[in-house]
Chains A and B, each alone.
Chain A
Amino acid sequence: MDRDELIKHLLEKFPEKIELLETGRAEPFFLLKNKDDLVAFCESIKTDENLDIDYLCNIGAVDTGERFEVVYDVASVKKHIRFDFKLRFEYEGAEIDSVQKVWPAANWYEREMWELYGINIRDHGNLKRFLLPDDWDQGHPMRKNWDAPDFVRMPEVE
């Protein structure tokens, strides 16, 4: 399945749920419009015979300064498919479902996301300190508005 076939297949299978984003990259990039569809979407791309997405490469969170975005990078080893999709949601009540029951590899990515961005993960089961020091009490350092007494921002350079 090449790039165009993959895009066509996904847009036909989930007509209301996703849309294609133009990025100029080789892998297609989709926007999943509603974050509540996440687990159902992941399950159906995993069980789809033509897609057979069996590998979660990466989960990344982005703080754009206005809202959060969470990017899922998935692939099929058997079918040689790779594509990304992302969610957008507001700071207020930042919370998404865990995709561990689809891909168990999500566990550490979601812990990291919870720790560094403060995005709560529903049904994770193991939300513990991961990368930061054990006695860390200064909040979520990867947020744009984060601050600490010894934190120095890069000055604006003209």
Chain B
Amino acid sequence: MGLIKKIPVYLERLPGGGILTTSLDWVFDQSRASSLWYLLFGTACCAIELMATGASRYDFDRLGMIFRASPRQADLIIAAGTITKKMAPRLRLLYDQMAEPRYVIAMGGCTVGGGPFYYDSYAVEKGIDHIVPVDVYIPGCPPRPESLLEGCITLQKKVKKEKIKDWS
């Protein structure tokens, strides 16, 4: 990242360099947003909806989203299902293993804020934003595939707004 971060700094000093920078932004953002490969992380019933979305009827692939079984190859982690306190450190570990830029979608009531396990539960983490930073929240119990697709399109919109000079 170090070198590419300096490109806009030098380019913008040149005449017409700003146009080049925004074009670079556009190329990076389009390619990222159009191939958000997601990590399979299904821990409960939301995973069934995730699988349904990945199958031919809803066809995740048309958004360029393909499941990956390894965090090293994934850009996005869709936390689909209840995250218990025992699972929380594992989720954090997987998130840390992903290469940047990385995104998180909290799918379903449990990951948004505990959901049906909010009351009277000693085992469930009440929202995964205690563990990892979340980009898009999708409520529902479980959310329908349409909601998940909407959430992913929202994330694509967010990705498309990124600039090279904001990279960390």
Contacts and interface: CB of A to CB of B under 8 A. Distances in A.
A150 B119 contact: no
A26 interface: no
Contacts of B126: 150, 152
Given A132-B86, A133-B85, A133-B86, A152 B118 contact: yes
Contacts of A153: 119-120
A78 to B, nearest CB: 39
B86 A152 contact: no
Interface string B98-131: 0000000000000000000011111100100000
Contact of B122 (A141, A154, A155): A141
Contacts of B119: 152-155
Nearest to B118: A152
A155 to B, nearest CB: 8
Interface string A142-158: 10001010111111000
- Band of interface residues on A: 10 to 19
Contacts of B122: 138, 141-142, 146, 148, 151
Contacts of A146: 122
Interface in B57-85: 85
A146 to B, nearest CB: 7
Contacts of A142: 122
Most buried by B among A146, A148, A154: A154
A143 to B, nearest CB: 10
A97 to B, nearest CB: 28
Contacts of B86: 132-133
Nearest to B87: A133
Interface in A2-39: none
Nearest to A147: B122
Contacts of A148: 122
A152 to B, nearest CB: 5
Interface of A: 132-133, 138, 141-142, 146, 148, 150-155
7 contacts: A132-B86, A133-B86, A141-B122, A146-B122, A151-B122, A154-B119, A154-B120
Given A152-B126, A154-B120, 16 more contacts: A132-B86, A133-B85, A133-B86, A138-B122, A141-B122, A141-B123, A142-B122, A150-B126, A151-B121, A151-B122, A152-B118, A152-B119, A152-B120, A153-B119, A153-B120, A155-B119
